[in-house]
Structure 1
Amino acid sequence: MTQLPAPSPQRAELEKAWARWATAMGRAQGELVLRHEVVESWERSLRTVDPARAVAPATDRDELGARWADSPLRNPVTELSGELRSITEDAGMVAVVTDDEGTVLFSCGDRSVRQRAEQVNLAPGGCWDEPYMGTSGVALSLHTGRPATVWAAEHLVEALHGWVCYCAPIRAADGRQLGVLDLSTYWDRSHPLILTTVRALVAAIESRLRSESSHPTDRTRLECLGVPRLYKEGKQLPMRPRQLEILALLALEPEGFTPERLHEAIYGDRSVSSSTLKADVSRLRRATDGRIADRRYMLVEPLACDAVELLSALEAGDLTTAVRLYRGPLLPDSDVPGIVQWREHLDVCLRTAVLADRNPDHALRFGQRCPDDIEVHEHALHLLARGDSRRALAAARLHTALRS
């Protein structure tokens, strides 16, 4: 990384250089303050980008949902979302992950910084490759395939002059560039060590990608939202409801259970022999190739589970992914105390987030899974513009819910 001079004088010099470029729309001869890679990026960007642009173009929401659902980055980024959120909230930054075309798929971070970032659409759906938003850390990393820092008026677009972004490409096990991780903050909070943090986070993501690619057919997946299913090597396994209940609890609570606590979570106050629980766990252990520990009931390695992914998405503030994952309540036919408690927790978290959100797409999609929820349908109807044809759908759902 290039060592930057003292912030205030450097920013002033960059602003002067940017102003000369913006006025002349050409290269300023003898300009020393600009880095060579920045100059080249400006020259490429000026063919398609107006430096006065105020906000990044947006991707269609349906397309964005499909991109994130199909992205190989979704699982490793979701698994690391807690760490990303902790780092960015503590440091006053925003983290974004893009695909290989510069479209933001995921974001999290300090609330006030995220709100400022959303004003320029540094948020899911924003297009940040060079042809769309000019010189930025994301654009340079995508173009060069190397880590990059773009600071203050090194950004071509004037609306970004208050920012600094630290980026590094994310690569698959076969070397393909899958996207970019970016940590951004205000220009006066810049520090060279931030790029070191980005590199470490990218290494963690790439490690998870390699782990997934090294066991492509050994992936076991539990789906317990709506219709419960357990898949192994792409095939559905026949499982008893009790086994799915136990497995769901173990997936949602990775720290595990003592035998007594799991017995209570499954049977409550009912008088059931401990040998019954041991037998169920034993059968489940065989079905999952020994993934369950003996003395303390817990998964010895993470299990892909839609309920866990939903919880992680909510914790990361990724409501688009959370709503997409929600196919119905957690094991809806179960009356097991532990499952009932988790079911209510997930439903309340997601419903509260949807009702607090201003995106009608989230209310419509969640409303599809909650046909009797009058407040959700009213919320969708309130958010949809008068000329939006989807108002008819929301109105029909509300009418049905009111009559039921």
Structure 2
Amino acid sequence: MNNDDLHARRVSAVRAWTQFVAEGAEEESAVRPEILRSWQLSGVVSPAVTHAPLADEGDTAEFWSQSPLQTAVSRVQDELRRTAEDGDLVIAITDEQTRILWTYGGRAMRRKAETVNFVPGGRWDELSVGTNALAIAGRTGTPSMVFSAEHYAEVVHNWVCWAAPVFDPATGRPLGVIDLSTTWDRTHPIGLATARVMARLIEAALPTDRRTTTAGTVGPDEPGLTLTLLGTAEVWLDGQRLLLNRRQTEILALLALHPGGLSVEHLHSLLYGDSAVTTSTLKAEVSHLRAALSGQLSSRPYRLTMPVATDIEEVQRLLRRGDVRAAVRAYGGDLLPGTDSPALVQMGDYLAVSVREALLAHPDPDAVLRYSDLAPYDTAVVEACLASLPVHHPVAPLLKGKLASAR
């Protein structure tokens, strides 16, 4: 396509975009159907938005470090970098919710990308920044191209983007999207094919065993949602681990603790307390979470629509049964350490006190020994256990060692 053709195409896109934004015109002949549908979904965003919102930097870095995509990209990054430099492109890898996890770009495009938060942490779903190739590819599961003013946000009308979804070959589950972007005047017919090739390259480089946790244990085989929230945070859906950020995990924990559902206002209060966080921020997090759960999160009220199992529930069940040893074995430590959700802090305190009181009432030596690893400075529990043991009990020396090291 020569420059005159590209310019005419750009003029046509600008005209259609202007009619849609200013007049609400929805003539399907003016733009491709997938662009019109995306514009309709983008109505919650101002077309004058100047940059994408940024997710928490720490959450993004943590997610990326644990993602199989990180391993795959590290294996093929030479090819990705060479493609970006040769074509003066910026290449981005996203998670399933279209949050950018990794980018690399030629010098000129990298500067342009930084001005609009096309960087790690940038949210490029349609609800955050409007129509773009990453959002369409992620939502539809098919490759997408968005040219110039086909973008909903005017700030990227000078861009052309090609994106292709990345799937887990073993399960078929979507992992994210790879996107190639440059300026509209550098549009090339092989752009979309190149994005497809890069997506297949990443899929082929994925680690072969992705069903183990960081501790090396196999994930649950049970259908539905399984949440490990005590001492660590792991979320499994139908036996496959979901890599979520802290807020999304906190929202899941709260919904699991309230199976009847929560209104947006009640969930906001439980999650943020008195913090100055808008309900639109919460709704965006829920939207990303719903996509990760394949839609199994209903609205009005927010409620999980699948079987849910949590280690919180398991510890409480075992305590009610009086099986203190098994309860301590299931108790991995503090509930989501570092959380600032008032409701989760309160639940964590309640559970910690429940376990401690059960041990004081029934100081099983094996359970106390394990508990002392989780709460090494809680000497009262160790002392209560020692006081109840025969002098020559085999666990006594170990408990005395724990006691000495805590003082």
What's the TM-score once normalised by structure 2's chain length? 0.50
Matched with 1:124 is: 120
Matched with 1:70 is 66
- Deviation for aligned residue 1:195: 1.4
Shift in Å at residue 98 of structure 1?
0.3
Are residues 1:9 and 2:8 paired?
A: yes
1:93–1:183 Cα contact (<8 Å) kept: yes
- For residue 31 of structure 1, report the CA deviation from its aligned partner: 5.1
Aligned to 2:201: 204
CA shift digits 1:141-174 (9 cap, x unpaired): 0111000000000000000100000000000120
DSSP 3-state at the match of 2:73: helix
**Cα RMSD (Å):** 2.5
Cα distance in 1 between the residues matched to 2:4 and 2:144: 17
2:31 maps to 34
- For 2:95, the equivalent position in structure 1 comes to 99
Can you list the C-alpha shifts for 1:291-347, whole angstroms capped at 9, x where unaligned?
Answer: xxxxxxxxxxxxxxxxxxxxxxxxxxxxxxxxxxxxxxxxxxxxxxxxxxxxxxxxx
1:143 counterpart residue number: 139
- The one-letter code of the counterpart of 2:8 is P
SS in 2 for 1:213: coil
Q: How does 1:309-348 map to 2 (within 5 A)?
A: none
- Separation in 1, partners of 2:180, 2:4: 20
Q: Which runs of 5+ in 1 are unaligned?
A: 222-230, 235-404
* Pair 1:164 & 2:160 matched: yes
C-alpha displacement of 1:20: 1.4
2:68 is paired with a residue whose SS is coil
Identity of aligned residues (%): 38
**Structure 2 counterpart of 1:175, one-letter code:** G
Shift of 1:111: 1.2
* Contact 1:93–1:184 (8 Å) recurs in 2: yes
Equivalent-residue separation in structure 2 for 1:199 and 1:156 (angstroms): 23
- Structure 1 residue 67: Cα displacement: 1.4
Structure 1: which amino acid aligns with 2:208?
Answer: E
Distance 1:123 1:79 in 2: 21
How many residues get paired? 215
Cα contact 1:17–1:31 (8 A) shared by 2: no
- Specify the SS of the correspondent of 1:73: helix
Separation in 1, partners of 2:42, 2:194: 28
Between the aligned partners of 2:59 and 2:181, the Cα distance in structure 1 is 25
Letter in 2 for 1:178: L
SS in 2 for 1:135: coil
Residue type of the alignment partner of 1:158: E
For each residue in 1:328-369, what CA deviation from the matched residue of structure 2 results, as whole angstroms up to 9, or x when unmatched?
A: xxxxxxxxxxxxxxxxxxxxxxxxxxxxxxxxxxxxxxxxxx
1:183 maps to what in 2? 180
1:86 aligns with 2:82: yes
Rounded Cα–Cα distance in structure 2 between residues aligned with 1:27 and 1:7: 24
Distance 2:141 2:171 in 1: 14
CA contact (8 A) 1:84 1:109 kept: no
Q: Distance in 2 between matches of 1:190 and 1:92?
A: 11
Q: Mark the CA change 1:98 to 1:5 in structure 2 (over 3 Å): closer, same or farther.
A: farther
For residues 237-257 of structure 1, what are the alpha-carbon distances to aligned partners after superposition, in whole Å with 9 as ceiling and x for unaligned? xxxxxxxxxxxxxxxxxxxxx
Q: Are residues 1:213 and 2:212 paired?
A: no
Cα separation, 2, equivalents of 1:5 and 1:103: 35
SS at match of 2:92: strand
For structure 2, the 5+ residue unaligned runs are: 218-407
**Any idea what the Cα deviations from partners look like across 1:352-400, whole Å, max 9, x if unmatched?**
xxxxxxxxxxxxxxxxxxxxxxxxxxxxxxxxxxxxxxxxxxxxxxxxx
Contact 2:133 2:179 in 1 (8 A): yes
Query: 8 Å contact 2:76–2:205 — kept in the other structure?
Result: no
8 Å Cα contact 2:75/2:205 also seen in 1 = no
